[in-house]
């Protein structure tokens, strides 16, 4: 039976592989369908799709949207949307700006602790991709403040270290609606210990289409719990490795933490029907 991985990052955000390098690696690992889910950008999609077409690996439109959920950052995966939809493009443009504003706030918080880095250094580390905390971590390592990215998150960049992070993103309601208007499906990313039962139900009421049941951070019992919740609420079940490239977290899960092509077909059917209704 074929396999799919619908959670992969590239250099368009905080991954280490270029978009065109992902499809060949996916094929080597027995994957037939993938989605590039970079943070708040689809800049890598066309390049990955073109590479996939040459070797028989299907690349779905995908993105991992950061959104505001009751004052906290949450991650929402979106799939099979119209990549050219102008309103969706506007949302991504706003989120790119929001990421820069958030990074400016983070740099300001680090400065209060005597860490001398600036926003432009972080942008340079991102090499044109959307900026994120991993890029700030790389700057901290290069300047000798910490010995590793892991240490940077433990000491300075983790939620526990920064406290409530100032964010400028669309609300979860706005993000869900934008994806639906573009004919796509929304899936709650790696929910493991982030949400209570009541909060999960609130997401469903907001119009969520699915849950990322299969993820490296979910143990067997958590996976069973989310699968049961998805089935009880008629939600799509998706999954993927959250691969960021060699030397990064979840490396050993690429090609192993996968979902079935049957589950991909369910996703496609839903979004195809949504597009027909919206015409």
Round to whole Å and give the CA distance between 258 and 7. Answer: 9
Give the strand pairing for 31-36 and 58-60. Answer: parallel
Question: pLDDT digit string (tens) for 11-29?
Answer: 998 888 999 999 999 999 9
- Angle at Cα 254 formed by Cα 252 and Cα 255, nearest 5°? 120
Round to whole Å and give the CA distance between 14 and 138. Answer: 11
Q: How many CB atoms lie within 10 A of CB 275?
A: 15
Question: pLDDT digit string (tens) for 123-136?
Answer: 888 777 778 888 88
Question: pLDDT digit string (tens) for 23-71?
Answer: 999 999 999 999 999 999 999 999 999 999 999 999 999 999 999 998 8
Round to whole Å and give the CA distance between 153 and 133. Answer: 8
Domains and CATH numbers, the chain: 3-86+171-278 (3.20.20.140), 93-162 (1.10.150)
Round to whole Å and give the CA distance between 169 and 67. Answer: 5
Evaluate whether 198 touches 169 at the Cβ level (below 8 Å).
Answer: no
Question: pLDDT digit string (tens) for 211-264?
Answer: 999 999 999 999 999 999 999 999 999 999 999 886 666 667 899 999 999 999
pLDDT for residue 251: 66
In total, the chain counts a number of residues equal to 279
């Amino acid at each position: 039976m074929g396999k799919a991985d619908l959670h992969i990052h590239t250099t368009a955000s905080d991954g280490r592989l270029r978009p065109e390098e992902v499809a060949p690696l996916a094929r080597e690992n027995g994957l037939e369908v993938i989605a590039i889910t970079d943070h708040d950008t689809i800049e890598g999609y066309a390049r990955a799709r073109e590479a996939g077409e040459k070797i028989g690996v299907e690349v779905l439109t995908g993105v991992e949207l950061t959104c505001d959920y009751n004052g906290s950052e949450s991650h929402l995966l979106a799939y099979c949307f119209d990549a050219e939809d102008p309103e969706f493009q506007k949302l991504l443009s706003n989120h790119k700006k929001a990421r820069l504003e958030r990074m400016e706030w983070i740099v300001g918080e680090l400065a209060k602790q005597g860490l001398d880095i600036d926003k432009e250094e972080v942008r340079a580390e991102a090499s044109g991709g959307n900026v994120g905390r991993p890029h700030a971590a790389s700057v901290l390592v290069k300047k000798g403040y910490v010995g590793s990215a892991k240490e940077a998150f433990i000491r300075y960049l983790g939620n526990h270290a920064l406290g409530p992070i100032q964010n400028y993103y669309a609300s979860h309601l706005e993000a869900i609606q934008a994806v639906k208007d573009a004919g796509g499906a929304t899936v709650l990313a790696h929910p493991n210990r982030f949400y209570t039962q009541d909060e999960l139900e609130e997401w469903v009421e907001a119009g969520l289409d699915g849950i990322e049941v299969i993820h490296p951070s979910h143990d067997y019992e958590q996976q069973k719990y989310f699968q049961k919740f998805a089935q009880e609420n008629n939600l799509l079940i998706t999954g993927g490795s959250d691969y960021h490239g060699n030397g990064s977290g979840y490396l050993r899960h690429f090609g192993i933490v996968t979902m079935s092509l049957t589950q991909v077909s369910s996703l496609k059917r839903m979004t195809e029907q949504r597009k027909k209704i919206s015409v």
